[in-house]
Amino acid sequence: MGLPAHNHQFYTIAEYLELERQTGIKYEYEGGEVFAMAGETVKHSLIGNNIGGELRRVLKNRPCNAYNSDLKIAINEEKYRYADASVICGPVEYFAENPEAAKNPVLIVEVLSESSESYDRGEKFKKYRQIPTFREYVLIEQRFPLVEVFFKIDEKTWQYWCMSNWTKWCS
């Protein structure tokens, strides 16, 4: 997703959900503020779709499911984001305030773009780390071959792994 465009009106969660239903536009939500999500490029959409397909294939016959960019992710009762792909193991869990947003992803994937890269690497990753079930974050560059993975080792430690040019490990 691109960087959110800020909208200065404050919304209740119910108004936020109604705004999405009425407009058909995805909005991220934080403490009453909504941020319209920018559209995707063709390449971004293709990569996101391919990742979802691979996740579904790998998770076949396992108690986990892959979700696409339409799944709203709950950071907590007041913060909601969209990822390009995610995985949830077991039943999807929700906060009572927003039964449309999953609060238990274990893996989140973001496809990077020039406009979203710093947000996805920084503030968005920081928000995602507030989710107790969240264990793995995958960043995929669309401009050149690069996949980066952050694995949660314990409550304070994340391990980093990456592959560049699809055949060699990053230094």
User: What is the average pLDDT across 39-58?
Assistant: 92
- Taking the CA atoms of 107, 65, 101 and 120 in sequence, report the sign of the dihedral they define: positive
Q: Are strands 136-141 and 107-112 parallel, antiparallel or unpaired?
A: parallel
**pLDDT-based confidence at 8, cuts 50/70/90?**
low
Place of tokens 């909601």: 80
3-state secondary structure of 102: strand
Alpha carbon 4 to its chain's center: 13
- Over its C-alpha atoms, the chain yields an Rg (Å, rounded) of 16
The pLDDT assigned to 16 comes to: 93
Per the model's pLDDT, the better-predicted residue between 144 and 110 turns out to be: 110
The pLDDT assigned to 18 comes to: 93
pLDDT in tens, 88-137: 999 999 999 888 899 999 999 999 988 889 999 999 999 999 999 999 99
Amino acid present at 88? I
Q: Where are the domains of the chain?
A: 40-169
Choosing among 3.40.50.300, 2.40.160.150, 3.40.50.150, 3.90.1570.10, the CATH entry for 40-169 is 3.90.1570.10
